[in-house]
Amino acid sequence: MTDTNGPLIIIGGHEDKEGDRAILAEVARRVAGGRLVIATVASRKPEGYFDAYREAMAPLGVTDLVELYLDSRDDAFDPAQGVLIEGATGVFFSGGDQQRIADMIRGTPVEQQLRRLRARGGVIAGTSAGASMMGTTMMVGGASEQSHRIGDLRMTEGLGLIQGVIIDQHFAERGRIGRLLGAVAAHPEAIGIGIDEDTAIVVEDGGFSVIGDGAVTIVDASGASLPDRGASGTLSIRDVRLHLLSEGNVFDLAGRIVDPRAAAA
Amino acid sequence: MTDTNGPLIIIGGHEDKEGDRAILAEVARRVAGGRLVIATVASRKPEGYFDAYREAMAPLGVTDLVELYLDSRDDAFDPAQGVLIEGATGVFFSGGDQQRIADMIRGTPVEQQLRRLRARGGVIAGTSAGASMMGTTMMVGGASEQSHRIGDLRMTEGLGLIQGVIIDQHFAERGRIGRLLGAVAAHPEAIGIGIDEDTAIVVEDGGFSVIGDGAVTIVDASGASLPDRGASGTLSIRDVRLHLLSEGNVFDLAGRIVDPRAAAA
């Protein structure tokens, strides 16, 4: 279900940058003294992002940082950009618009460089839009703080660094359970993963563990009823399995079960 | 699980008062030409509530409206208040603070009058705080728009007009799935019912049907793992059953299943 390569660190946005920085410390640990590329591609106005991460990462021992920005898709074919990733042990995607990441990178040499980085054990991290784009299928748009109305959600292709999941972010803070249920109702073969702010999943070896302050909500519609729309157009679906995970929990993606290690112990 | 008496109409707040008024029309239908008591007890400043409902109900044919307000718990022992309900076919609780409703009414003659009203087939409706107080156990406080931290939620006794459920309101709009999961994690014998704005459940004959614009979210933790707290204090729980219902869906409370009528057809 996942590649057997370097880890992914998928962050729900607003990771702490001034306090204990638990999530960025995990990124630093995985970068292991190497170079970290800060990819600000998600934003049309990337000014400030790179400096913020440089300041936040320095006390964590990550001092070799470079920025990857693409003004246009053409830039992703510029060999100079690929070189940035070639020399790195990690890439961190900052927030913005997940569609912009996919538009700039899918099918370009930069995407190939990302896959090569992982194949040699490098880490790819992403926060907010940088989290959503990790999946094969990603949400763009979709309302917050309302129950899902059928037809309200647009799904497109992400970078596919992790298969079989649909990721949402700023999850509890923006009241997004409605749209994630809408997404898995339309794609019941995918596991819905909603990640709170200052919370992350570390994906490796076919599963993930949770770190950070909030929760990770899993919605599994593989055994659910066919979705249905009421007279109001609002989604109706029954028998969705829901798990709420917090720091230290482990989820097995293939088995769709929580804490197989704990259960085996 | 519910009394075999008059219906309850439990509304998630902000029911439409100017458009098609689908929910208020259902209240009007159940009041059936009789008197409707508007109980503004939930609010410390009830001015305006009664007039708003008088204006909204008049075009629906409900013109015999009286207001029930209690300045203090002592007022609930005043025989004049009980007389208001004696002559009515329905009582409608407006919004405010569910704790105030319980404090003013529990164990008083007004509560007895409410039970007598139901026993003779009358309807009790409530919106927002007037919805939360219907259960035996009700939430007061509890954060919106964040995942639940163990210890963050206070539960107290409601009026107990419906047993075995915990009701939350303004559900999708205020991102309250976190606190409802916290409530059922602590009370797994109860069914959690989260009602969106301009949406209601009509409870009768041991079940309920959904009316209105949004969704009703059911969380059933009866088969879930024991709740656990991570290092962050954030709730962890697995194998919660979730149903999302919309207009026309029917839920059987004793069997904890959706649409038994549809399944039997």
| Sign of the torsion angle spanned by Cα atoms B247, A172, A184, A149 | positive
C-alpha dist (Å) from residue A216 to A159, A246, A265, B91 = 21, 6, 23, 41
Nearest to B147 among A244, A248, A258 (CB): A244
Chain centre distance of CA A254: 18
Q: In the prediction, which pLDDT does B226 show?
A: 86
Give pLDDT tens digits for B84-100: 999 999 999 999 999 99
Cβ distance B145 to A238 less than 8 Å, yes or no, reads no
Give pLDDT tens digits for B225-240: 888 887 789 999 999 9
Assign 3-class secondary structure to chain B: CECCCCCEEEECCCCCCCCCCHHHHHHHHHHCCCCEEEECCCCCCCCCHHHHHHHHHHHHCCCCEEEECCCCHHHHHCHHHHHHHHCCCEEEECCCCHHHHHHHHCCCHHHHHHHHHHHCCCEEEEECHHHHCCECEEEECCCCCCCCECCCCEEEECCCCECCEEEEECCCCCCCHHHHHHHHHHCCCCEEEEECCCEEEEEECCEEEEEECCCEEEEECCCCCCCEECCCCEEEEEEEEEEEECCCCEEECCCCEECHHHHHC
Residues 37-66 of B with CB under 8 A from A: none
CB contact A261 to B (< 8 Å): no
Q: In the prediction, which pLDDT does A231 show?
A: 78
Structure token pair of residue B220: 């059933």
Give pLDDT tens digits for A151-185: 888 999 999 999 999 999 999 999 999 999 999 99
Which whole number is the average pLDDT over A107-126?
96
Tell me how far apart the alpha carbons of residues A259 and A251 are, in angstroms, rounded to a whole number: 6
pTM above 0.90, yes or no: yes
CB contact B222 to A (< 8 Å): no
Cβ distance B230 to A247 less than 8 Å, yes or no, reads yes
Cβ distance B237 to A248 less than 8 Å, yes or no, reads no
B148 min Cα distance to partner chain A (Å): 8
Which whole number is the average pLDDT over A67-73?
95
CB contact B137 to A (< 8 Å): no
Structure token pair of residue B54: 């008088």
CB contact B181 to A (< 8 Å): yes
| Residues facing residue A67 across a β-bridge | A38
* Residues from chain B contacting residue A244 (CB–CB below 8 Å): 147-148, 181, 235-238, 240
Give pLDDT tens digits for A29-62: 999 999 999 999 999 999 999 999 999 999 999 9
